[in-house]
Amino acid sequence: MKNYLILSAALFTFYACHESKIPEEKISTDAAPPVQTVTESDSQITRPCAILHTPDSIQLEQLKKDNGEEAFYTINEDYQSYMTDARAFLEGKGVKIIEPAGGKISFHSAKGNPATLNLSDVKYNWEMWLFDGDQLHKIDVMDIENEYKKYMK
């Protein structure tokens, strides 16, 4: 009789502690435009798009050194949030988003107005530009909706 009680208690404990997996929710990304990394052969842009640039590890270390560790983490979190919001807005509008790792990118408009962006320049940290097909515009990432209305008519 004692064995049945121990067996029942063991089974009850086993079932009570058993974790069932919650099914993962699958999110469709079919509607999102592709994120594209710019390579040397792909460094000439001719169509409207958004350029999102984030600092590399060396720039991040320099920013941490310049601003202090506590301020750096606050700045980093703020810009990550702004960039995420801007990306979501632009994806919703169907804008092609390019995230180059660095180097030079050339923009060629239909009107023949060339522009070059050197992302290896240390002055660029968390930056965003909109290319409207004619001109390259550095924008305020915190005001993405108004900047989009202004340049991407």
From 75-84, 120-129, 136-145, the region with the lowest mean pLDDT: 120-129
User: Where are the alpha helices (H) located in the chain, listed in sequence order?
Assistant: 2-17, 57-67, 69-93, 144-151
Per the structure block, which two tokens stand in for 102?
């660095």
Q: What is the Cα–Cα distance from 105 to 41, expressed in whole angstroms?
A: 10
Q: Which domains does the chain have, with CATH numbers?
A: 33-151 (3.40.30)
The band of 23, judged by pLDDT with boundaries at 50, 70 and 90, is: very low
Who contacts 151 (Cβ-Cβ below 8 Å, separation ≥6)? Answer: 130, 132, 135, 137, 139
Residue 32 · residue 93 · CB < 8 Å: no
Q: Which residue has the tokens 């390259």?
A: 136
Q: Residues 117, 120, 125, 129: what is their CA dihedral angle, to the nearest 10 degrees?
A: 10
Q: What is the Cα–Cα distance from 99 to 139, expressed in whole angstroms?
A: 15
Record the pTM.
0.67
What strands, in cross-sheet order, belong to the sheet with 44-45? 44-45, 104-108, 114-118
Q: What pLDDT score does 40 carry?
A: 33
User: Where are the alpha helices (H) located in 18-143, listed in sequence order?
Assistant: 57-67, 69-93
Average pLDDT, stretch 65-81?
A: 90
